[in-house]
Amino acid sequence: MKKLWCCIMVCMMLFTSFFSFQVHAAHEDFDVQSGVLIKYNGSDADVTVPAHITAIGNEAFADNTKVQSVRLNDTVRVIGDRAFYGCSSLYSVTQGDNITEVGDLAFYGTPYLDNSGDKYVMLGSVLLWYNGTSDGVTIPSRCTSVASYAFARCEYLKSFTAYDGLTNIGTGTFYGCSKLESVNLPLTLSAVGAYAFDGTPYLKNAGEYAVAGDGVLLRYQGSDTEIELPDTIKRIASHAFVSSKLRSVTIPESVYAIDAYAFADCTGLETVQNSEGLVTIGDGAFRGCKSLAQFKTPESLSYIGQLAFNGDSAIDSAVLRGDHLTVSYNAFKGCDAMRYVLLSDGVAQLYDNAFDGCTALEGISISPKTTDISVSALSGCTNAVVCCEQDSEAETALSGHLINNVMGDADSSGVLDVVDATTIQCYIAYLVKLNGAQTASSDVNFDGTINIMDAYICQLKSVHLL
């Protein structure tokens, strides 16, 4: 009996070890971070996405030629850009009833789209592809988003209608629809991707300000070089002004978002007047605006995207204010004429290489309330003086740079006295000039503005009343 029991135990241990190995190996196929599938590393033809995954990340399955079918779980809500791009054997995607967002080119190059028997290929509430041949289309009422290139080059399409509830149209959705003249979009539409209507009579005939849905400016088609946007515009879509001859623009309070590359390569753009209400500036929004000399953000701003001002070689200074503002990766990369930056206490995060290559940067003021600072935020800024409070996160994270803890040291003497207060007053009155480090140090209260209040605080501190 004892021998029999030992044999049973050995078998159970072997079975358990084998089972554990199989489970471990299966999990190794899925590189997951915070519920997002970063990369599928397996070789199975039929893939079932585990229940703990809530999103398929950018390029997670890209160029996998072995996978033939994917079974999504009920928790997946988002599929990222190029997630299944180039999966040349992918014929079937099942479930995914709760999908609400699908990124650009997510299923490009897969037989799944063309081989579907449905006129409207949908995942959840997202219309991925149109396989019909009608010249007039009214999409299903459950559709909240139309994915990138879903109707691209449908040369027979003349009219398109969507119900209330549609919120998003992707990149190039109707690109090259050469007969599309009639487009009926609901006021629920709040986001439109780049080139969504390029090559259509609809866009061509839309007037100076081509606006769709709930105030989304698709394209500026006028010839004026100095404009003030109408307050009916709420969002400036991607590439709306790209490469235009614009010299100055005034953005009204109604605009809450400037999307990616909206003003990219506007090489003559000198002045941008922002109003309170702006929340996001997208990736590359002002990239290559070589004549833009200064930029000041409103206090409502929460996000500046990657490479937003990359290559803006004329920018002399930037004043960044915001509401828990994040300055993303490489946001001001290569702004090699910028002398100083003022960061108000509304700036929360400075990401990697935010000011990379700003070789002329002499000074930057960073509030003690800015606590998430990358050590590479000022990469390549060898002459920059970090003006900050003692023992602040800026002093710790940017210790490789010159640090000035004497806020208000407008004469660079190393001490705070009444001379500094007078110097700031003279600067406000345009009677003296300050270098970049002195200017950054003069924003004593970190509000993004150098004014009489800074001079007053200096006076109080110099006589130890504050």
CATH number, domain with residue 141: 3.80.10.10
Q: Do 86 and 135 have their domain in common?
A: no
Q: Do 91 and 137 have their domain in common?
A: no
Q: Do 152 and 89 have their domain in common?
A: no
103-129 pLDDT, tens digit each: 999 999 999 998 887 899 999 999 999
* The two three-digit tokens of residue 382, written as one number: 């060898």
- DSSP code per residue over 69-95: EEE--TT--EE-TTTTTT-TT--EEE-
For residue 331, being part of any structural domain is answered with no
pTM of the model: 0.88
Q: Do 60 and 88 have their domain in common?
A: yes
Q: Please give, one letter per residue, the 3-state secondary structure of 272-306.
A: EECCCCCCEECCCCCCCCCCCCEEECCCCCCEECC
65-106 pLDDT, tens digit each: 999 999 999 999 999 999 999 999 999 999 999 999 999 999
From 238, 224, 226, 279, select the one nearest 255 (Cα to Cα).
279
Q: Do 100 and 128 have their domain in common?
A: no
Query: What is the domain range of residue 92?
Result: 30-115
Residue range 16-30: average pLDDT? 52
Q: Are 278 and 295 in contact (CB under 8 A)?
A: no
367-421 pLDDT, tens digit each: 999 999 999 999 999 999 999 999 999 999 999 999 999 999 999 999 999 999 9
For residue 177, being part of any structural domain is answered with yes
At residue 141, the pLDDT reads 95
Alpha-carbon separation of residue 396 from 13, 178, 299 (angstroms): 52, 58, 26
pLDDT beyond 60 at 431? yes
154-210 pLDDT, tens digit each: 999 999 999 999 999 999 999 999 999 999 999 999 999 999 999 999 999 999 999
Alpha-carbon separation of residue 272 from 10, 133, 135, 144, 246 (angstroms): 75, 45, 42, 33, 10
Considering 186, 205, 224, which residue would you say is the last residue of a domain? 205
Give CA–CA dist 270/290, Å, rounded. 8
Q: Do 135 and 123 have their domain in common?
A: yes
Q: Are 342 and 448 in contact (CB under 8 A)?
A: yes
Give CA–CA dist 28/393, Å, rounded. 38
Average pLDDT over the chain, rounded to whole? 92
For residue 92, being part of any structural domain is answered with yes
Contacts with 17 (C-beta within 8 Å, 6 or more apart), sequence order: none
For residue 322, being part of any structural domain is answered with no
Considering 77, 98, 115, which residue would you say is the last residue of a domain? 115
* The two three-digit tokens of residue 254, written as one number: 């109604």
For residue 237, being part of any structural domain is answered with no
From 342, 379, 382, select the one nearest 360 (Cα to Cα).
382
Percent share of the chain, pLDDT over 70: 94
At residue 115, the pLDDT reads 83
Give CA–CA dist 382/211, Å, rounded. 45
The amino acid at residue 97 is D
Q: Do 88 and 160 have their domain in common?
A: no
At residue 28, the pLDDT reads 81
Q: Are 275 and 301 in contact (CB under 8 A)?
A: no
For residue 99, being part of any structural domain is answered with yes
For residue 81, being part of any structural domain is answered with yes
Residue range 321-333: average pLDDT? 96
Residue range 48-60: average pLDDT? 96
pLDDT beyond 70 at 63? yes
Q: How many domains does the chain have?
A: 2
pLDDT band at 27 (very low <50, low <70, confident <90, very high): low
At residue 463, the pLDDT reads 81
For residue 105, being part of any structural domain is answered with yes
At residue 213, the pLDDT reads 95
The Cα angle at residue 87 between residues 86 and 91, in degrees rounded to 5:
130
Considering 144, 173, 205, which residue would you say is the last residue of a domain? 205
At residue 21, the pLDDT reads 38
